[in-house]
Amino acid sequence: MIISPELDAFARAISRVLGWSYFLAWSASFYPQPISNYKRRSTLGLAIDFPTLNVLGFTCYTISTASFLYSDTIKAQYASRHPEAPATTVRFNDFLFAAHGAVMCVIIYSQFFPRVWGFEVGKRQRVSRAVLGIWWACVVCIAVVVALVRVRGVGGGVDAAGGWAWIDVIYTLGYVKLLTVFLKYIPQAWVNYKRKSTVGWSIYPMLLDFAGGWLSLAQLCIDSALQNDWSGVTGNPVKFGLGNITIVFDVIFMLQHYVLYRQPRKCMEDQEEDEEREGLVSNLRD
């Protein structure tokens, strides 16, 4: 489909506005939870699995977006894999969001260490074995793909249509990010369900996530339409997946907060403290 230069310029301007709008919404979503933790001097109510997976995911996403933007090798290999739409749909706001997110995730994760912040941390707030297993499995998968590229692939060669290439490592980082996005929400949803409360966990990041998810998908669709090729969506599966997964889980969390647990059981923090005392008494008896 051929569009006029005026319409093309307008669509590109809308794309930039959408890009920076979702960047602001998603970036702002990182702040309510650590601020809430700081005010309460506690991380009770927040599942530690959430920031643990977030640190890995946003580190991978930062490397991925930076490579698509600034690596000539990756851009050339992407063009080789997608000759019908050789320009990637990754934008600078994607990279800035990823880098900012990685820093904020490290800060939130550090709040679970009393020696650093002096916050109250529940005895049960430890990374689960399942999450640790997934974390290390992702790292091993990345290492395996790197090894395949170095041993059997084309490496830095431009022709990446067949065989292993560095772009496969970047795609692996992106898929790790998608996996962590999907898995990181499950422990928090489970914690809310078991406590029958969202006390100590902030709903505001989810509201901002929800808005950012729709804005991100809108920008991706406009960019693909401008290229007159929807492989821009399949060629940027991380951004497409991020938007959809985020929206689905945000709806779940909003239902928990505004519908299911609007009137949570009284004094959840006191209940958790009682559980801590019971555990301590049990250990002394043993």
Q: Would you tell me how many other CB atoms lie within 10 Å of the CB of residue 5? A: 7
pTM equals 0.75
DSSP secondary structure string for all residues of 104-119 = HHHHHHHTT-HHHH--
SS3 category, 85 = coil
Q: 136-193, pLDDT tens digit by residue?
A: 999 999 999 999 988 877 655 666 656 788 899 999 998 998 899 888 888 889 888 9
- Per the DSSP assignment, residues forming a β-bridge with 236 are none
**Ranges in the chain, pLDDT < 70:** 1-3, 85, 123-124, 154-162, 227-239, 242, 263-286
Q: CB-based burial of residue 186 (10 Å sphere; 0-12 exposed, 13-18 middle, 19+ buried)? A: middle
